[in-house]
A and B are shown apart, each in its own frame.
Chain A
Amino acid sequence: MTHTPDHLDVLLADSAPAETSVSPALRHDLALMAIEARSAPRPRRRPLRVVATAGIAALLVSGAGTAVAASVFDWAPWAQDPDLAYPFVLPSGRACEARVAVYDIESVDSDGAVTRFDPANDSDFARHLRDSDLIDQADVDASITEVRQRDTSISYVAVLPGGYLEDVHATASGPTEDDVYAAAVSNAVRDVLNAEAAMFEGGHDYTADESILCETVTP
């Protein structure tokens, strides 16, 4: 304040609760806390759900989608605790989920083979992903448009009855709506990761495991 304090100013200042008494020990612990906060474990958020059609939105909002996915899908060990999870439903109603784990790159040899850091060492980028609601940024609709423009005369990505995604040889009927949607989700999730990595700490190189599993169906 630049003006001369009046009686009200004095009263207001005097009403302040006592300041914190500073000791060397307190300063020391505050400094430690500031450093530790950088790597403090982040609370895990429940993955958001994405719906393919309005008709199944109610089912997913109720939480059934994740419950089904968690109990039915046989995830690989790395996917048991993913850095990003994206439950979704195919146009046919099959419940699916995409899971990604990211790792920092330790080295890349002359052949381009990537060596990742020990997966057990949680990276800053992995923690950042887990803490962020990035799933909201996945633009599946835009990705569907891109997938539809692909040349499917030789092969395309299909959702197999066993629940896996795979590149299959072209068929006369071409990809189904489920195939297109699943490929679009895969793309959209990867786009989100790449965009986030580009912004993280001014650009971050990473490698990742990605898996999409869907409910099995009888062929």
Chain B
Amino acid sequence: MIGDRKRALRSALEASSVDLLSYLRRRTDSDDAPDLLGETFVVAWRRLDDLPEEPMGARMWLFGIARGVLLNHARGVHRRWALADRLRGHAALTSTTAPPADEHLEVRDAISRLEPDMAELIRLVHWDGFRITDAAQVMGIPASTARSRYQRAKELLRLALDPAVAP
């Protein structure tokens, strides 16, 4: 039933919208994040037929869409959504005034120097709280591939941050 599907998507969007916004803000300029979220919502409605039935599956599906939107954004596809303007006015979405600590900058820099897929795995697991298998789903790769890439990424980060991670 199409009505059930629409209700399910509304529910999935409501349940994940804050996390999706955080996910997008962590990977792009804060001012762009509302537009990217709007694009994510629009794409989700367009792909209503593909919405997984299980709530957790729907959540992973939405993050997968957000990731696709981010990749398009990185390729230079920029679109401003009027419905995002409402969000930009929220104080919670304005840029933080306090810069991150040097230690955090060093870690973020080390992550960004990983191969893009490895870096995204690390961010999904450690920043967004996904299990590796869920991160694999968001990225559209096999869980076994995600596990091996994740382990390799951790090894590389240990090497890059050697003094920082020493006990």
Task: Tell me the A residues contacting B by CB distance below 8 Å.
Answer: 1, 6-9, 11-23, 25-27, 29-38, 40, 42-43, 128, 131, 199, 201-202
CA–CA, A202 and B2, complex, Å: 7
9 interchain residue pairs of minimum CB distance: A37-B41, A15-B107, A12-B126, A16-B127, A34-B13, A21-B92, A30-B17, A15-B104, A38-B45
Question: With A23-B90, A30-B87, A33-B41 in contact, do A12 and B122 touch (Cβ < 8 Å)?
Answer: yes
- From known contacts A12-B126, A12-B157, A15-B111, infer whether A34 and B18 are also in contact, taking CB-CB under 8 Å: no
Query: Which of the residues A6, A27, A40 comes within 8 Å of B18, measured between beta carbons?
Result: A27
- Known contacts: A8-B161, A18-B96, A23-B90. The answer to whether A33 contacts B37 by CB under 8 A is yes
* Contacts A12-B122, A128-B46; A34 near B17 (Cβ below 8 A): yes
B80 vs chain A, min Cβ distance (A): 11
A–B complex contacts, Cβ < 8 Å, 9 sampled = A8-B161, A9-B126, A15-B111, A16-B126, A20-B18, A27-B17, A27-B18, A30-B87, A40-B38
Chain A's interface: helix, strand, loop or mixed, by majority?
A: helix
- Tell me if B8 counts as interface (CB < 8 A to partner A): no
Within 8 A of A (CB), among B80-101: 81-84, 86-87, 90, 92-93, 96, 100
Q: 13 additional contacts, CB 8 Å, given A12-B107, A12-B127, A15-B126?
A: A7-B165, A15-B103, A15-B107, A15-B108, A15-B127, A17-B25, A17-B127, A20-B21, A23-B92, A32-B86, A33-B41, A36-B83, A38-B6
Chain B CB within 10 Å, residue with most, of A11, A14, A22: A11
Specify which chain B residues have a CB less than 8 angstroms from the CB of A15 in the assembled complex: 100, 103-104, 107-108, 111, 126-127
| Shortest beta-carbon distance from A133 to chain B in Å | 13
B152 in contact (CB, < 8 A): no
Q: Are B92 and A22 in contact (CB under 8 A)?
A: yes
Give B114 Cβ to nearest chain A Cβ, in Å: 12
Within the assembled complex, what's the spacing in Å between the Cα atoms of A19 and B92?
9
| Residues of A contacting B122 in the complex (Cβ-Cβ under 8 angstroms) | 12
B113: Cβ under 8 A from any A Cβ: no
Judge whether B73 is part of the interface by a CB distance below 8 angstroms: no
- Inter-chain contacts of A16 with B (CB < 8 A): 26, 123, 126-127
Mark B residues whose CB is within 8 Å of A: 2, 6, 10, 13-14, 17-18, 21-22, 25-26, 37-38, 41-42, 44-46, 48-49, 79, 81-84, 86-87, 90, 92-93, 96, 100, 103-104, 107-108, 111, 122-123, 125-127, 131-132, 154, 157-158, 161, 164-167
Whose C-beta in chain A lies nearest to the C-beta of B21? A20
- How far apart sit A21 and B14, CA to CA, in the bound complex (Å)? 16
A186 to B: closest C-beta gap in Å: 28
Q: Which residue of A lies closest to B23 (CB)?
A: A20
Contact A29 B87 (CB under 8 A): yes
A34 touches B41 (CB 8 A): yes
Q: In the complex, what distance in Å separates the CA atom of A31 from the CA atom of B15?
A: 10
Q: With a CB–CB cut-off of 8 A, which chain B residues contact A37?
A: 38, 41-42, 44-45, 81, 83
B131 smallest CB distance to A (angstroms): 7
Are A34 and B10 closer than 8 Å at their CB atoms?
yes
From residue B86, how far is it (CB to closest CB) to chain A in Å? 5
Given contacts A20-B22, A29-B86, contact A34 B126 (CB under 8 A): no
In contact, A11 and B83 (Cβ under 8 angstroms): no
A28 (CB) vs chain B CBs: closest residue: B86
Contacts of A30 in B (CB 8 A): 14, 17-18, 21, 37, 87
Q: In the complex, A178→B132 CA distance in Å?
A: 58
Residue of A7, A20, A40, A199 touching B92 (CB-CB under 8 A): A20
